[in-house]
Amino acid sequence: MLRSALALALALLLPLAPTSFARQVDPDAERAELEADFERTMSGAKLVGHFTMSDAPQGELSEESYTIAKVSKVEGETWRFETLVEYGGRSVTVPMNLKVKWAGDTPVITLTDLSIPMLGTYTARVLIYRGQYAGTWSGGDHGGHLFGRIERADLPAGSEGADRDTDGEEAGERMDGEPAEGDGGAGARQVSYSTPLPGAPADDLFWPSFRGPQACGWVDDGEATAVEWDVEAGEGIAWRTPLPGLAHSSPVIAGERIYLTSAMRLDGESELKVGLYGSIEPVPDEGEHAFLVLALDRASGEVLWKASAWEGTPKYPRHPKGSFAASTPATDGTHVVAFFGTEGLYCYDAQGEQLWSKSFGDLHSAFYMVPSAHWGFSASPVIHDGKVLVQCDIIGESFLTALDVETGEELWRVKRDDVPTWSTPTVDVREGRSQVIVNGMKQVGGYDLETGAELWSLAGGGDIPVPTPVIAGDLVYITNAHGQMAPIYAIKTGATGTVALKGEGEEHMAWGYRSRGNYMQTPLAYAGYLYCCSDGGVLACYDAASGEELYRERLGSGGSGFTASAIAADGKLYLTSEDGEVHVIAAGPQFEVLSVNAMGEPCMASPAVAEGTLYWRSRGHMVAVEQPEG
């Protein structure tokens, strides 16, 4: 396990290989930008992780931390680090001049026979990449490996580095597809967002599945939505209902009802660890749970019914930031479908009577490089035209399937050659084509809605795909991250066969970036712009048609994680941090913060909106933020 962890840490930090289709840049300007980013990243940083020692028992890890108050360039490769080293119960403030070398876009901190007071003489090579570090060290007659994550240090106010922040991301490389003749690429036309979505649900299906219709994440119904509210004081709050258990599934809305799922531990409370950290270890055995489906009255928040779909001990554990109820339910107004991975798929009517259930067997959702890193299942079902669509990319045999919503009978199933993903499929219906679009690393693609036949595919992406594909106009936007790529793809909805950024299939790509894609959040395409927010809270706005980056700004101080996906309404964006702060941003090409509102609890679930009321699921409550008066 130790060797696997070290190999994983080092692999994640390897720089991207040079690409033959990178844009032309001024090398000096690019290096200056990289160095400025390195200074921001390391000033006011705390490196928290582990190290091994060659003379320790095999597999033993020791904890370490290094607090760096300030980093500044002296000249050439020489940088000054003002560092507080903590080790073995001792601490010492050490100003050090170190060499920083560059492997492509990746800095490598270099120590060679450096004498550190009270600690000894050391040699080390440490790579810094995307908020993580890894390397080797030696001192005296022993040595080993070291690896961990980079956090913001808790420095005294006013000290050097106390107010620094960084997005920890590399500069993006945009790849523009050439517009085709006639109807052309995205750059040749205006993308319309004001017309109804193709195949949109009935009027009372306000928010039928994860992130609303087609996962679009927005409404344009002319209703005003709130800018400011106060949960603690009850100002602007229509109701706040306690919820049992721990769940990250989002609310779905049909008519006057809200449907939710939850996982309730039968003996004790489930703990949740939010924030920016790099642990891949699952939570130890938590015993028996009840997996619940609930219906609430949309006007009052009253719980109308609660059904226990399954009880027992889940086969696989969850991630410390995860939940056994991470999959958002889906509804068509008549049926409510809830998915709990290995523990089954369940269909209810609107009154809470179970209609059918189905087991897909062992659905092991784990990091493919370290299968013991059990993180839990989270792909959500989608209901469209009488079909329940489910994407199951797992350790083992991955597949995409369609079931009859009335009976649960399997209509078709296709195998997928991909690593585990945590993404939800999206349905796109337009003249001449109806397709199911899925995210992936090896096999992003579109499948025929009626037969499951593959229509197009694209290989290449981050190795932990989470965001759901979204559609606007004639483009489908797909992003993912982790590992050696973090792409953003703008693919034409009429794509066929192979799709690529460059080479064979590039005619199907309107534009794209090799980096700066989202890790956790589904992107938001709204009113002509595409918004992508990193898990560190860096919000980027792109022209949806051309891919031009219009701004890139941090939300908050940089100390909170962002997992919930953004939504939009009434010309405003709502982005929710894991700490429960909702950042309300004006939609459009200029970055403008309208307000920041505290929900009073951690928030991991993506919110919903219907008729001017916003709905958030926090750690222990369902909260309705009412439509403003007037």
Calpha distance 544→547 (Å, rounded) = 6
Domain 174-625, second-level architecture: 7 Propeller (2.130)
pLDDT of res. 15: 38
By mean pLDDT, which of 387-391, 499-503, 615-619 is the weakest?
A: 499-503
By mean pLDDT, which of 128-132, 197-201, 247-251 is the weakest?
A: 197-201
Beta strands in 197-288 (DSSP E): 218-219, 237-242, 252-254, 257-265
Across the chain, mean pLDDT equals: 84
pLDDT of res. 1: 43
Express each pLDDT in 69-79 by its tens digit: 888 888 888 88
pLDDT of res. 163: 43
pLDDT at 326 over 60: yes
pLDDT of res. 356: 98
Which amino acid is located at 340 in the chain?
F
Domain 2-152, second-level architecture: Beta Barrel (2.40)
- What residue segments make up the domains of the chain, in order of their start? 2-152, 174-625
pLDDT of res. 577: 96
- Give 54's DSSP letter: T
pLDDT of res. 97: 80
Residue where the block lists tokens 């049992």: 244
Calpha distance 156→394 (Å, rounded) = 46
Q: What single string gives the DSSP state of each residue in 495-531?
A: --EE--SSSTTGGGEEEEESS---SSSPPEEETTEEE
Give the residue-averaged pLDDT of 583-603: 97
Confidence grade of residue 240 (pLDDT, cut at 50, 70, 90): very high
Calpha distance 448→429 (Å, rounded) = 10
User: pTM here?
Assistant: 0.71
Cβ 543 vs Cβ 570: under 8 Å: no
